[in-house]
A and B are shown apart, each in its own frame.
Chain A
Amino acid sequence: MGWRMWLPLMFFALFLGLAAYQLTQPKDEFVESRMIGQSLPYFDLPAATDGLPGVSSKDFADGKPRLLNIWASWCLPCIAEAPQLEALKEQGADIVGVAIRDDPADVAEFLARHGNPYSRIGRDDLSEVQLGIGSSGVPETFVIDGKGTITYQHIGDIRADDVPVLLEKLREAGQ
């Protein structure tokens, strides 16, 4: 009888250990998303700004691997990641943007000021794609293979160290 009274404390100790371990872990490690290996959900977004077409999930079925970058002009980390996206584009990556709850004028201004690495940008006013793809914030970047399957997720802004990783993931997705 007596030993059972210790069970709550034992479970609690287990939780404490786990939580303490998690708190000491750096948060920006490469993470596996539950969306990895799944197909993109169906969507068809209108263009977010003049001069660039909108984005549809069908665009990803042409055999070419791409980066899908979820961002917004009102998002500060997105400014920080802009040079890295430029670098990725220069090294041959095709980057498709999805602008979350954004305004065409703001999108155009952002692109004029921070560069435009995108081949297409869709506007996701209802966070439809964002929710469907399992992203919880901006910016986030997904690697999509030529059949529309998500192969890699990068949470948060892309730092300089992340560029080679993303290029490698793109190359893997193309094989």
Chain B
Amino acid sequence: MIAELGHAALWLAAALALLQLVGGALALRGGEADGITGLARPAAVLQGGLAGFAFFALLYVFAVTDLSVKLVAANSHSLKPLIFKLSGAWGNHEGSMLLWVTVMALAGGLIAAVERRLPENTMQATLAAQGFVALGFYAFLLLSSNPFERLPEPAMEGLGLNPLLQDIGLALHPPTLYFGYVGLSVAFSFAVGAMLTRSVTPDFARAMRPWVLGAWVFLTLGITAGSYWAYYELGWGGWWFWDPVENASLMPWLAATALLHSVSVLASRDALRVWTIMLGVVAFSMSMLGTFLVRSGVLTSVHAFAVDPERGSFILALLAIYIGGALLLFALRASSISEGERFAVASREGALVFNNVMLSAILAVVLLGTLYPLLTEAFDVRVSVGPPYFNPVSAIFTIPMLLAMAVGPLLRWRGDSWARISKELALIAALVIAGLIFFALFEGGALLPLLGLAIAVMLAVASFLPLRGRNLKRLPIAVWGMVIAHFGIAVALFGMASESAFSTERLAALEVGQSATVGPWEVELASVQPVAGPNWTAIEGRMLASYRDGEAQPIAPQSRNFWAPAQQTTESVLLTRWNGQLYAVMGNEANDGRWQLRLWWKPFVTFIWYGGMLVALGGVLAIIGRVQQDLKRRSIRRMGAVRRADMGTV
């Protein structure tokens, strides 16, 4: 019954999305919002509620393991712990599409309920666009991926969830990314609304900014968590593989980062109007493109799931309609949107434009690398593009961007002179050179990681330079957000560069009682035990790890066997110190009674994820700061209105 209710709620929500589209479009034509034309806002709110209900219905059938629902039977199992039953609801194609639609509908409802800054006609156009996009996804769900489909006969037992996905990190990873992807759909609708009504104003940018910031924070967290998950769960000791699925989340992040900076310029300086609109379209396009690449199977990926060419065609059709439509609108309207305020090259705006161009270039590099196999396959050549392409080519643009990150915040808006900040520039140059020399002497390594380390140290220092000479207590929270986010980038970069420059690896076959060394660690295999969990059995290697003759710490990596479905996974053990991680993976028994284990010492690797979290924290602070600023601005306006009214009575 609950499944049927959920299904019905989806149809109703789809009907409301249509009403939202029609109501918004009519309001746009007529100008006045009354009768059917006033319906877009309430329709959006109600649509959000219904989609939310449908999602809860799905959570419910998963929670009770209702095996008459096809999706539950295919993706769950009565033995699974409750948390993974729930996460199983979105750990598959249909459920994740429902999550996508739900987040999108809730976001649409929220803008309809709270957004009052935009001119009413832009607001109506935005809601119409949001309804139009949602409609396509409802059609996708209801016509080709119904999550509530019943089986003719209930199944005896579910087929289970991929054990690799039975992990708390991965249970939370997709929703986090989806909040990001779908938050960008709001930015997209805003951009389309603004193009339709030709009103690209600072007010528009201020309305769009919290959504971009929010989406960006979730994307940052999602990518950080996903990277850490891949690192400890896959047992390969790597944290980024430039896999199409990883790129699918990186590309919207790059676009959102560029958009974030350009929307700030538009909000505070009324410049970069066309750029901001373009990036608003591109950012969400990258979300959809990523979804297409992951789901259609046109590219091979180690992470690809729910691959189905038929669904791929459906998503491709949605891409064609929405992105094609938005780009067509852009081509027709962009020339009539004037560029806004002018500014000098040496100015905050100038640096932000440079940053935007570099980010777009990195995005193009990643996009090309990801799509290149698609291009060559059309000529019957199968290639895979990996780190040898992505690392150096993206570095060409990343390095100047990182330098601009250090310099940009020191510049004033509109126009500045290099001479005014010459001391800071000298400090930045000195830090890079000193860092290069220091790390090169310390331990020889490849040029890119060394340069990365030097730039990371410089950026860490430079990100605090904008605070110099300012009253820290009265500093806007948003500035703290920027400082912390930039510092977070420096921290993450330090982790990445250090990991690639100084990691050491050891593959050992040990008898019980023997030990192996890796970097500064000595690891002794004390015993090997079988252990059993709720739905798996494992071989557990009990080891004693000691750092530089220090006290021995017990660790116990496992090699797990799940039986529904049958699959083997590794539960690696990470021993974290402030200066890095020991990474241990238990292998199987060799023929001669020895046990294989794989050990890594990865100096400062944790900085990658601490950095990611700092970046997200910076984003959260920026949101708080912006919301606070808006409230203040609103109350000032209200007071101004009151004062004008008072003066009128005098």
Do chains A and B interact in one complex? Answer: yes
Of A16, A34, A74, A126, which is within 8 A of B598 by CB? A126
CA distance in complex: A89, B382 (Å):
28
A5/B320 contact (C-beta < 8 A), A22-B374, A32-B381, A74-B567 known: no
> In residues 361-392 of chain B, which contact A (Cβ within 8 Å)?
371, 374-375, 377-378, 380-384
Bound state CA distance, A97 and B377, in angstroms? 29
A27-B297, A47-B591, A123-B588 known; A16+B324 contact, CB < 8 A: yes
Are the C-beta atoms of B371 and A15 separated by less than 8 Å? yes
Contact call A103/B561, Cβ cutoff below 8 A? yes
Answer yes or no: B631 CB below 8 A from chain A CBs: no
Q: Which residue in B316, B377, B568 is a CB contact (below 8 Å) of A101?
A: B568
Inter-subunit contact A2/B335 (CB<8 Å) = yes
Task: Determine if A8 and B278 form an interchain contact, defined as CB atoms under 8 angstroms apart.
Answer: yes
Tell me which residues across on chain A come within 8 A of B30, comparing CB atoms: none
* A74 CB, nearest partner CB in chain B, Å: 5
B553 at the interface (CB under 8 A from A): no
Tell whether B65 is near chain A: CB-to-CB under 8 Å: no
Min Cβ gap A149→B in Å is: 18
Residue interface mask A2-26, B partner, CB < 8 A = 1: 1001101100110110111111010
Q: Is the CB of A1 within 8 A of B298?
A: no
Q: Complex Cα distance A18/B309, Å? A: 14
- B298, A22: Cβ atoms under 8 Å? yes
Question: A29 vs B591: C-alpha distance in the bound complex, in angstroms?
Answer: 39
* Residue B292 CB within 8 A of the other chain: yes
Cα separation A165 to B334 with both chains bound (whole Å): 55
Contact among B236, B292, B383 with A34 in the assembled complex (CB-CB below 8 Å): B383
Contacts of A27 in B (CB 8 A): 297, 309
Contact A32 B324, CB 8 Å, known A23-B298, A126-B598 = no
CA separation between A56 and B148, bound complex, in Å?
A: 50
With A19-B374, A47-B591 given, is the CB distance from A9 to B328 under 8 Å?
yes
A102, B297: Cα distance in complex, Å: 27
A6-B331, A18-B375 known; A126 vs B235 contact (CB < 8 Å) = yes
CB < 8 Å neighbour of B309 from A23, A102, A103: A23
| Contact (Cβ within 8 A) A5 B587 | no
- In the assembled complex, A63 has its CB within 8 A of some CB on chain B: no
Chain B CB within 10 Å — which of A13, A103, A131 has the most?
Answer: A103
Q: Report whether B374 and A74 are in contact in the complex, using a CB–CB cutoff of 8 Å.
A: no
**Would you give the shortest CB distance from B516 to chain A, in whole angstroms?**
15
Q: Which residues of A contact B316 (CB under 8 A)?
A: 16, 19-20, 23
Proximity bits, B267-300, A CB within 8 Å = 1, else 0? 0000000000010011001000000100011101
A164 within 8 A of B: no
Our pick among A21, A32, A131 for the contact of B382 (Cβ within 8 Å) is A32
Best-buried of A12, A54, A131 by chain B (most CB within 10 Å) = A12
Q: Which residues of B contact A101 (CB under 8 A)?
A: 568
B335 — which chain A residues lie within 8 A by C-beta?
Answer: 1-2, 5
A156 to chain B, nearest CB (A): 11
C-alpha spacing A58/B195, complex, angstroms: 65
Instruction: Please provide the chain A residues from 119 to 152 with a CB less than 8 Å away from any CB of chain B in the complex.
Output: 123, 125-127, 131, 134, 136
B327/A8 in contact, CB under 8 A: yes
B129 to chain A, nearest CB (A): 17
Closest B residue to A20 by CB, please name it: B316
Q: Determine whether the beta carbon of A12 is less than 8 Å from that of B598.
A: no
Neighbouring A residues of B375 by C-beta, 8 Å: 18
How far is it, in angstroms, between the C-alpha of A123 and the C-alpha of B559 when the chains are bound?
A: 15
CB–CB B334/A5 < 8 A: yes
What residue of chain A has the Cβ atom nearest to residue B237's Cβ?
A126
A8 and chain B: residue at smallest CB distance = B327
User: Whose C-beta in chain A lies nearest to the C-beta of B383?
Assistant: A34
Chain B residue with the shortest CB-CB distance to A32: B382
Bound state CA distance, A15 and B285, in angstroms?
A: 12
- Beyond the given pairs A21-B378, A47-B591, 4 more chain A to chain B contacts, judged by CB atoms under 8 angstroms and listed by A's residue number, are A12-B327, A16-B324, A23-B316, A125-B587
Q: Which of A's residues lie within 8 Å of B, judged by CB?
A: 1-2, 5-6, 8-9, 12-13, 15-16, 18-23, 25, 27, 29, 31-34, 46-47, 54, 74, 101-103, 123, 125-127, 131, 134, 136
Complex A-B: 13 CB contacts under 8 Å: A1-B335, A5-B331, A5-B334, A8-B278, A16-B316, A19-B292, A19-B296, A21-B378, A23-B313, A32-B381, A46-B590, A46-B591, A101-B568
